Structure 1
Amino acid sequence: MAAMNRAPSVILGMCSYTHDSSAALLVDGELIGFVEEERLSQRKHTKDYPRHAVEWLLSEAGLTAADVDAVAYNFQPAHYLAESPAALRLALSPTTRDRALPRARGFAKVGLRTHRRARALGRQFPSSRVSPVLHHRAHQLTAFAASGWNESAVLIVDSLGERQTTTIARGHNALHPSVRALEAINDPASLGYVYGAVTEHLGWRRGDEEGTVMALAALGDPERFRHLFARAVRTTPTGFSVDPAYFPPRVLTSGYPRTSRRFIAETCPERHPSEPIQDVHRDLAAALQERTEQVMLHLARRARTITRSRRLCVGGGVATNCVSIGRIIEAGIFDEVFVPPAPGDAGTAIGAAIAAHTGSRSRRPVSGVARACYLGPSYQHQALDLTPWPGLQQKTLGVESAEFLADQLAHGMIVGLFQGRVEAGPRALGNRSILASPLEPGVVERLNATVKFREPFRPFAPMVLAERAAEFFTLGQEAPYMSMASGVTDEARERVPAIVHANGTSRLQTVTRSQNAFMHDVLSAFARRTGVPVLINTSLNVKGKPICGTPEMALDCLANSGLDALLLEGRWITK
């Protein structure tokens, strides 16, 4: 009887104070929800305490801050401190001597600051304990639990988590997720650091616009800088190393460049964002991307060797490099590869909460995480007042809204879609999307120039009925979260060339009825009209703004972009 009346276990997972703040809530092991703070605060990549996210989660569960038993934070402060004495070894080399003391001080400073931040989180919840979780362990649990598999290899590759940049683990037990770390690579060997450094060198924002560099790479020739990157990022039997002569060791304070004078002398001067893109920039991006793919393949093979697993989960910021993920799948190293919907730091709020739950030795299984991406707030029953947007008008659609939307798309309209719960992660997944017909002449140019306001070489990803994906794409497995680049068939090149990038791939999203019934209906209706079960799908936002998490954000996007219309919870809104 006492067990029946016990209070539920309430664990709040948190990513806060660094970038991409988010929160997740587990109650007795069940994931109540997860949302990135930027989707509610309108501040992209915000590092603020996720106030809006926490308020929504507690309200959704009918709880207050006093009900929270544990706050699981996605960093362990002490592991930063361990790097300080290690950093002093850099003084032994003339190449790195000037970085030794600043690096030691920087890691110590961040370790102490992380400790203070964890304590500050605890003060927000008077009845809770704070559980700091090793950053890569949070990534590992997020990726493995989201896969729903009972066993797999887990590869995490990012810029930095405390000291670690790359880890290989083995996950097991889908109901009580557990990961066993097998190998780790520590900073300054960091693939994410190198990619971010070159992104910044090429004039884009590090930590935000690496995807732009990946797109640019398809237009360049890697030959010019291939040997440079082979020297700068060398593979080793158990991983890779980074040559400090090209990429000086990280210092966790501003004012220390991430590329060396030698790198600049052997490539090109830093590009200002306002400067035109030249062949040298395209070639530098191409060589960087090629080396990234080679190293990721090498790490995947290492994960296969030491885990003997036939499946692979990939997480961390570098897991958003969809071309690399596609290369791993094409290589046939594993039977299946999985990337969670939120592979970056925001998603670690889920993994941190799972770590705290399993660490409490609760017998309750973890639920609501496997293959779930629609985890944020919904506004289905909210009244809509268009007064702040005097140029907009609305009409309510009936039950045939999927047919209506498909018809508008087939006639060339570009439409924003806002329905159901906010998705997790950076890709458009069909609840906060901009949709367009891939058959419309000039649609990519129009989307980039007048809707998204971004570079003209940026490609747009296709969504396709999962049951017909093989007609157009060669990936050979489902890709539910738009995180994998696939080769295309002759049918795709002939019928929907708008979704084929210059490198002959498409960042694919497959849609099943169980995953998103409405989008499955829209794709089916579009196929009946056009013979093609493929739509262009990109996130509901413009460049520099977060994906629209609220109706107000979506209406602003419609009013201030080249969108033709917005379908918002069954209401058709036009200008």
Structure 2
Amino acid sequence: MLILGISAYYHDSAAALIRDGDILAAAQEERFTRKKHDPDFPANAIRFCLSEAGARASEIDRVVFYEKPFLKFERLIETYLAFAPRGFASFRKAMPLWIGEKLFQRDLLLRSLKEIDAGLADKAKLRFSEHHLSHAASAYYPSPFADAAVLTMDGVGEWATTSAAVGRGKDLTILREIHFPHSLGLLYSAFTYYTGFKVNSGEYKVMGLAPYGEPKYAQLIFDRLIDVKPDGSFRLDQDYFNYATGLTMTNARFDELFGGPPRRASDPLDQRHMDLAASVQAVTEEVVLRMTRALATESGASRNLCLAGGVALNCVANGKILRDGRFDEIFVQPAAGDAGGALGAALAAYYDEAPEGAAKSLLRPDAMKGSYLGPSYAQADVEARLRAVGAVFSVVDEESHLVEKTAAALAAGQAVGWHQGRMEFGPRALGNRSILGDPRSPTMQKALNLKVKYRESFRPFAPSVLREDVADWFELDVDSPYMLIVAPVKAERRRVMTQEEQALFGIDKLNVPRSDIPAVTHVDYSARVQTVHRETNPLYHALISRFKALTGCPVLVNTSFNVRGEPIVNTPEDAFRCFMGSEIEFLAVGRCVLHKDQQNEALKLDYKNAFELD
């Protein structure tokens, strides 16, 4: 059975294609349109999926949308009725869109599918999954577990904001839900908004900012904003929020409680903002731990946990869950947000219709194939594309030579663009569309932020480490292939700080080397670890292995190949433009090697101001 899954019309639209449960292709629309978090119908992603699988539209058995629009419309109406007359302005603004588009989404989907190919626009093929079931399925079915507890947390789907489920074999059963307006994701987004970052894209900045602060407001949040039960269930006091009916996340009562209006994006960050970030992070971790502990008891004998939904991208909380010890193994869907809903919708539909004897995948480390599910480019195509944009390059005849040249550039302290194989599905670059650097350099973190990524200087970078060496460098000895678990750097790799350094606070801590790998060690000695496996990415594994042979260090700095506000690069041309618009010094695309000092000066771009803050 060939099934196409689609997510669209909110943020991070995507498409995924599976055959009899096997994941063939998946990609976000933003990578093709170059519009970050693109919410539009994923026409380009669908065309890619069909092409990658060599499938005709007429061969698709099911097209599955990741949520149920009528239930979402019901929630909108009931919410405004419950809060009336508050929020009439936003109600009046939203209703024409909902009535004209969302309420008739089946027709809109069929029209959009027909524009791609009439063979897709068959009413009999079209199905609608539920939002949280799509998330849960995206985590459970690709996991290597025969049974697992499944926790899904996000802003909101139709009604659900949090759901607990149990997977056994091919069956996935939702046990309980928490409904809108009570949402852990929206609580975190409220503080994202209040600290001056964009909702639905800036939450990871709050997570990165948190270690610079102290959780001074955590008890205030527990006392006034959220009532949490021992099992992690909770309710939010809506007197402090505006998201249910208004056009902002918080209101004047929230401002009064926390000592002032929301920070404007252009305003400097101060210690108060860092303390607010630390506080909402601490509250989130406590709520999530209560949930997972209760779920561990409720799910019986299973010692496995699957996570999905936007809150599952909070890798600090994921690390706390792992170290809490209630579960032996954790699998986090790498595309945990709405993009992954496309994949989950397809998988949920397949296993719902699969015959009784159909078996769930138990592949190790998982069935996501490293999340390398996007487009790739043949060597001849790469060369033609680079010539067309005026790139100057040489071609190495063997991958081993490519590895040697790139490892030497990294060991020499250069920032390296690395464009290889199939593009990653999800928000993280995992070694195929990455900017790489030497983690031993005390200046690499700041240089990459300010001169390459053009983003806030406090933002941490992740280490890619050989799976076989991870326990020697980090307090972690499990697979973390998707950069979604934070772990402390090993004590013996840390640097003891002086009294003067310990007295520093806030972003002043940033420039103090804290370990043997300072470029990937956050101010609290933590790191967002990616374990690199020979089986899923042999070329990237070989590169890190060669870097280790040269330096003794089996770790590289790995950040996504893009600048602030830009989606991760897709094509060789995207890679070249980003190379020419930043201070990346060395670029490898396939077996093509490019040096910045050999390029045509006239092709340089001003990427620093090309994209708005994300």
**TM-score normalized with structure 2 length:** 0.86
Greater shift, 153-162 or 41-50, is seen at 41-50
Could you tell which deviates more after superposition, 270-279 or 390-399?
390-399
Q: State the alpha-carbon separation in 2 of the partners of residues 438 and 338 from structure 1.
A: 27
8 Å CA contact retained: 1:311, 1:334: yes
CA distance 1:278–1:68, shift in 2 (3 Å): same
SS of 1:291 mapped into structure 2: helix
Structure 2: gaps spanning 5 or more residues: 114-119, 495-514, 597-614
| CA displacement 1:541-570 (0-9 Å, x = unmatched) | 111000111111111110101111111011
Amino acid in the other structure paired with 1:155: L
From 522, 538, 543, the counterpart of 1:517: 538
Match of 2:323 in 1: 330
State the identity as a percent: 38
Give runs of aligned pairs for residues 154-169 of structure 1, distance below 5 A: 154-169=150-165
Deviations 1:393-439 (A, max 9, x none): 34435332222211211111110111111111111211111110011
Q: CA deviation at 1:111?
A: 8.3
Residue 534 (structure 2) pairs with residue 537 (structure 1) = no
2:236 counterpart of 1:242? yes
Q: CA deviation at 1:340?
A: 1.4
Kindly state the Cα deviation for residue 102 of structure 1 after the two structures are TM-superposed.
Answer: 6.6
One-letter code of the match for 1:498? Answer: A
| 1:40-119 → structure 2 map (5 Å cutoff) | 40-83=32-75, 86-87=78-79, 90-91=82-83, 98-99=86-87, 110=98, 113-119=101-107
Q: How many residues align?
A: 557
Question: Could you say which residue in structure 2 is the equivalent of 1:260?
Answer: 251
**TM-aligned CA deviation for residue 515 of structure 1:** 2.1
- State yes or no: 1:370 paired with 2:371: no
Residue equivalent to 1:457: 458
The 1:249/1:114 distance shift into structure 2, 3 A limit, reads same
| Distance change in 2, residues 1:85/1:346 (3 Å) | closer
Task: Please state how far the C-alpha of 1:443 moved relative to its aligned partner.
Answer: 0.5
What SS does the aligned partner of 1:218 have?
Answer: helix
CA deviation profile, 1:110-161 (whole Å, cap 9, x unmatched): 4884342233223422335210100000000100112121100000000011
How far apart, in 2, do the equivalents of 1:166 and 1:108 lie? 29
Q: Of the candidates 558, 561, 564, which is equivalent to residue 582 of structure 2?
A: 561
Q: Which amino acid aligns with 1:179?
A: L
Larger displacement relative to structure 2 (452-461 or 79-88):
79-88
The offset of 1:359, in angstroms, is 2.7
The Cα shift of 1:60 comes to 2.2
What amino acid is aligned across from residue 451 of structure 2 in structure 1?
T
Cα displacement (A) at 1:444: 0.6
Distance 1:85 1:281 in 2: 35
Aligned equivalents of 1:279, 1:233: Cα separation in 2: 24
1:32 aligns with 2:24: yes
SS at match of 2:216: helix
In structure 2, C-alpha distance between the alignment counterparts of 1:377 and 1:453, rounded to whole Å:
26
| RMSD between superposed Cα atoms in Å | 2.3
**In 2, Cα distance between equivalents of 1:288 and 1:555:** 39
CA displacement 1:184-217 (0-9 Å, x = unmatched): 0001110111111211121111101111111111
Aligned counterparts, 1:347-496, within 5 A: 347-362=340-355, 370-372=367-369, 373-381=371-379, 382=381, 383-387=383-387, 389-390=389-390, 392-400=392-400, 401-493=402-494, 494-496=515-517
Correspondence for 1:170 = 166
User: Could you tell me how far apart the structure 1 residues matched to 2:455 and 2:90 are?
Assistant: 37
Q: Sort the Cα spacing of 1:134 and 1:104 in 2 relative to 1 into closer, same or farther, 3 A.
A: farther
User: Is the partner of 2:340 in helix, strand or coil?
Assistant: helix
Paired amino acid for 1:58: L
Secondary structure at the residue paired with 1:52? helix
Matched, 1:272 2:264: yes
The answer to whether the Cα contact below 8 Å between 1:79 and 1:111 also exists between their aligned partners in 2 is no
Secondary structure of the structure 2 residue equivalent to 1:40: helix
Match of residue 121, structure 1, among 97, 109, 116: 109
Contact 1:81–1:107 (CA under 8 A) maintained in structure 2? no
C-alpha distance in 1, partners of 2:75/2:29? 30
Query: Alignment partner of 1:386: what SS?
Result: helix
Contact persistence 1:83–1:104 (CA under 8 A): no
Deviation track 1:194-252 (CA, whole Å, cap 9, x = no partner) reads 1112111211111011111111111111114532344312212441111112224523x
Equivalent residues of 2:149, 2:295 under 8 A apart = yes
Deviation per residue, 1:329-357 (Å, 9 max, x gap): 11112111111111111011111111222
- What CA distance in whole angstroms lies between the structure 1 residues aligned with 2:283 and 2:218? 10
Gap change, CA 1:30 and 1:338, over 3 Å in 2: closer
Change (3 A) 1:388 1:270: farther
- Per the alignment, residue 213 of structure 2 pairs with 220
Q: Is the 8 A contact 1:17 1:117 kept in 2?
A: no
C-alpha displacement of 1:481: 0.3
Task: Give the match for residue 152 of structure 1.
Answer: 148
Is the contact made by 2:218 and 2:283 (CA closer than 8 Å) also made in structure 1? no
Aligned residue number for residue 4 of structure 1: none
What SS does structure 2 have at the residue aligned with 1:561? coil
Q: TM-score, normalised by structure 1?
A: 0.91
1:199 to 192, 198, 202: 192
Letter in 2 for 1:117: Q
Q: In the TM superposition, what is the alpha-carbon distance from 1:88 to its structure 2 partner?
A: 6.6
The code of the aligned residue for 1:61 comes to: A
| Runs (5+) with no aligned partner, structure 1 | 1-8
Q: Match for 1:141: what amino acid? A: A
Q: Secondary structure at the match of 1:160?
A: coil
The answer on whether the counterparts of 2:462 and 2:557 sit within 8 Å (CA) in structure 1 is yes
Q: Which residue of 2 aligns with 1:288?
A: 280
What letter matches 1:572 in structure 2?
A: V
Task: Single out whichever of 494-503 and 288-297 deviates more from structure 2.
Answer: 494-503
1:22 Cα deviation after fit: 0.7
Deviations 1:473-525 (A, max 9, x none): 11232111001110111233242122110122100001121121111111111
The answer to whether the 8 A contact 1:380-1:419 is kept is: no
**Which amino acid is 1:34 matched to?**
A
Structure 1 residues 106 and 181: CA distance shift in structure 2, 3 A = farther
Partner of 1:5: none
